[in-house]
Amino acid sequence: MEKPEKNGNSNGDRFRVFFPLLEKETEIEAGFTVAQACAAVGRPLQLICGGLGTCGKCVLFVETDGRMREVPACREPAVPGMNIFLNLPEDRKAHILTDSLTASAGFRPGLRKILIRSDDLPPLLCSGLWRLVREAADIPLAKPSLTRLRELAELFQQADIREYTLTLDGDWPVSLEAGDTRANLHGLAVDLGTTTVAAYVYDLASGRQIGVRAALNRQNALGADVISRIQAASKPGGLEQLQKAAADTINDLIEAFRHDFDLTPEHIYACVICGNSAMQHLLFGLPPKRLGSAPFHCVTLDSVSVEAREIGLCIRPSGLVRFLPLIGGFVGADTLACALALNMEDEPRPMLIIDIGTNCEVLVGNGQRMLAASAAAGPAFEGAEIACGMSALAGAIRAVALSPAGVKWETIGDEPPVGLCGSGLVDALTQMAGLGLVSSKGRLALREEYLAHAGHPALAERLDSLDMNGNAERVFILARAGETGHGKPVYLSQKDVRALQLAKGAIRAAYSILIERYGIKGEELDEIIVCGAFGAYLNKERAQALGIIPDFPGVPVRAAGNAAGAGVQMCLVSAEKQRAALDLPSRIEHVELATEEHFSRIFMRSLDFLL
């Protein structure tokens, strides 16, 4: 790469910036931040705080006029000729859970193809072409869109076409093609999570799953949680950016299917999606402002169906994209999909479902009655808003073992530690509380007082104080600088302990209130099911000791994996399950915890670490 000119080859309102460690350069618009420049070169950063400059996750080095500085990328303006030292290994992949332990659905998709031969068209004079097709198909059909009518008119002008293939989603005409294309019938199921996105592609002619792919949600570059994204959507151009980011993430996965399985995107005729309420709004470009403040109104709770071309998905342009129904407030279609995957609508005994992610949803009940609520746990368990927190990437500490002799840890990929993911955070905090390093009220001990109280020198020497934005903050060092992959210590700070304490308190208050409102005791539950990637890797006993998961005598706890992903797949391959999804919201009562009379009292009581 050639040395840039002093002015960065400025051209009017555009100029060039450089990435020496990546050996790349790009032209950007005046007014871009360093973070936007990173996104422009194809390396978007995760702006956990939504670009407010408060989380410190995007800090990197830049060089201007020969002077090197460390800056927050989300707030620092890019200037002509700037060198941006970004070095994020492209092979550091997120470990995204796509598997689940759930019920299965029979294969009977609503998407199907019907072959119509020109000889089968009824010989009616002065009739409408669509009427001829409808009578030849001999099944009830919805009124076609203008696009279908244009396809029909174009095809029937060609006298040499002897066969036509009509594709239907239920009774909705998706496409009309020349020839017999029945062998090409693929569908896509997508679990659109706040942090991660999982996609599953099926051959709906045979019922075979072709493949599974997952990726981090590109919206992470505009905020880690739903609240920060709702705020970002209110800024000029923000909603359009978020909508495109969601569509681009799904398109990335479609491109992976094309590359890895030689799949033609035009052969994907339907896409079924689940996700929380904010993801529904942002995917369709619906302003989410009313969702972000009381009384927490969604634009619509109903299932939303559009053609792929309307939201920029790179499947067949006329393919039907259906987002499953929402339940209420922030309890969305992902919770609905979990309930479907676990056959909750048919269960005679009450169960408790906890889906822990960036947002936490709780569902209690059986086939006769269900209650659902959303806990504002924040993104702490996803590693966000934690000083050394990170997603489940290679190098993330996933398990911790503390003893009087010191600290041991396990990392994803067995690489040197570079941070902590959710399961590692819970492991560390539970044991720190059990060993007296953290008090029941969440106070991190000082070295001297811990030595006087517990007398474990190997642990006491890890209690330290670090400068954070000019303030000294207590920390417990899990991995020293010489042991890590980036040469900096990995630790849990006092602020981190408070964030985890608040998240734990919100979850515990949510399931406590729902069980009480349902009118049963915890011991009467048939089982407790923990969904999501965080729950799959969680140490159950330690999570129960901390209070994230309840510990009721005789009630088993099991992890169901990505139950939302399983539920949305069921809706793709089974028309019956899709009909059940449309009916299920009418059987679920949404509980808004903020309006519950005893919420504050139960929440405050739930904050303590009582091991």
Q: Please give the distance of CA 254 from its chain centroid, rounded to a whole number.
A: 17
- Residue 602: the pLDDT is 86
- Check whether 480 has a pLDDT greater than 90: yes
Which are the contacts of 469, defined by CB distance < 8 A and separation ≥ 6?
none
Partners of 375 in beta bridges: 360
Phi, psi angles (nearest 5°) of residue 451 = -60, -40
Q: Which fold has domain 342-379+501-606?
A: Nucleotidyltransferase; domain 5 (3.30.420)
Express each pLDDT in 141-174 by its tens digit: 888 888 888 888 888 878 788 888 888 888 888 8
- Residue 346: the pLDDT is 86
CA–CA distances in Å: residue 12 to residues 3, 5, 17, 287 = 21, 15, 14, 34
Give the strands of the sheet with 588-590, arranged side by side.
557-561, 528-531, 351-356, 360-365, 370-375, 588-590
Q: Which is more confidently placed, 124 or 319?
A: 319
> DSSP string of 179-216?
S--TT--EEEEEEE-SSEEEEEEEETTTTEEEEEEEEE
What is the rounded distance in angstroms from the CA atom of residue 492 to the CA atom of residue 407? 13
What is the rounded distance in angstroms from the CA atom of residue 164 to the CA atom of residue 169? 17
Express each pLDDT in 27-83 by its tens digit: 988 888 898 888 878 777 766 665 666 666 778 888 888 888 888 888 899 999 999
Nearest to 592 by CA among 513, 529, 531, 476: 513
- Residue 308: the pLDDT is 95
Q: How confident is the model at residue 250 (pLDDT cuts 50, 70, 90)?
A: very high
SS3 assignment for 510-530: HHHHHHHHHCCCHHHCCCEEE
What is the rounded distance in angstroms from the CA atom of residue 243 to the CA atom of residue 238? 9
Please give the average per-residue pLDDT across 508-516, as a whole number.
92
Sign of CA dihedral 389, 395, 399, 400: negative
CATH code of 186-323, in short, is 3.30.420.480
- Residue 400: the pLDDT is 92
What is the rounded distance in angstroms from the CA atom of residue 396 to the CA atom of residue 403? 21
- Check whether 382 has a pLDDT greater than 70: no
Listed in order, strand segments (DSSP E) in 231-327 are: 268-275, 304-307, 320-323
CATH architecture for residues 14-85:
Roll (3.10)
Express each pLDDT in 272-287 by its tens digit: 999 999 999 999 999 9
- Check whether 11 has a pLDDT greater than 60: no
Please give the average per-residue pLDDT across 185-196, as a whole number.
92
- Check whether 99 has a pLDDT greater than 60: no
CA–CA distances in Å: residue 387 to residues 43, 466, 496 = 22, 11, 7
Residue keyed to tokens 């994230």: 548
State the DSSP code for 532: S
Q: Are strands 396-403 and 406-411 parallel, antiparallel or unpaired?
A: antiparallel
| Domain limits, CATH 3.30.420.40, in the chain | 342-379+501-606
Q: Please give the distance of CA 220 from its chain centroid, rounded to a whole number.
A: 9
Minimum mean pLDDT range among 220-224, 345-349, 576-580: 220-224
Please give the average per-residue pLDDT across 336-354, as a whole number.
91
What 3-state class would DSSP assign to 549?
A: coil
Q: Which is more confidently placed, 203 or 86?
A: 203
Answer whether 362's CB lies under 8 Å from 507's CB. yes
- Check whether 95 has a pLDDT greater than 50: no
- Check whether 93 has a pLDDT greater than 70: no
Which are the contacts of 64, defined by CB distance < 8 A and separation ≥ 6?
79, 81, 82, 83
Q: How confident is the model at residue 395 (pLDDT cuts 50, 70, 90)?
A: confident
CA–CA distances in Å: residue 53 to residues 46, 385, 495, 560 = 12, 12, 17, 36
Partners of 275 in beta bridges: 192
Sign of CA dihedral 304, 306, 312, 315: positive
- Residue 124: the pLDDT is 63
- Residue 470: the pLDDT is 74
| Domain limits, CATH 3.10.20.30, in the chain | 14-85
What 3-state class would DSSP assign to 131?
A: helix
State the DSSP code for 92: -
Q: Are strands 111-117 and 528-531 parallel, antiparallel or unpaired?
A: unpaired
What is the rounded distance in angstroms from the CA atom of residue 468 to the CA atom of residue 458? 25
- Residue 601: the pLDDT is 85
- Residue 2: the pLDDT is 39
Phi, psi angles (nearest 5°) of residue 42 = 90, 20
Averaged pLDDT score across all residues of the chain:
85
Answer whether 563's CB lies under 8 Å from 337's CB. yes
Please give the average per-residue pLDDT across 211-236, as a whole number.
86
- Residue 413: the pLDDT is 86
Q: Which is more confidently placed, 159 or 179?
A: 179
Please give the average per-residue pLDDT across 458-480, as a whole number.
88
Express each pLDDT in 575-597 by its tens digit: 999 999 999 999 999 998 877 87
Please give the average per-residue pLDDT across 178-205, as a whole number.
92
- Residue 88: the pLDDT is 53
What is the rounded distance in angstroms from the CA atom of residue 571 to the CA atom of residue 579? 8
- What is the share, in percent, of the chain residues with pLDDT greater than 70? 90
Give the strands of the sheet with 268-275, arranged side by side.
208-216, 196-203, 186-192, 268-275, 320-323, 304-307
- Check whether 390 has a pLDDT greater than 90: no
| CB half-sphere exposure, 581, CA atoms < 13 A | 37
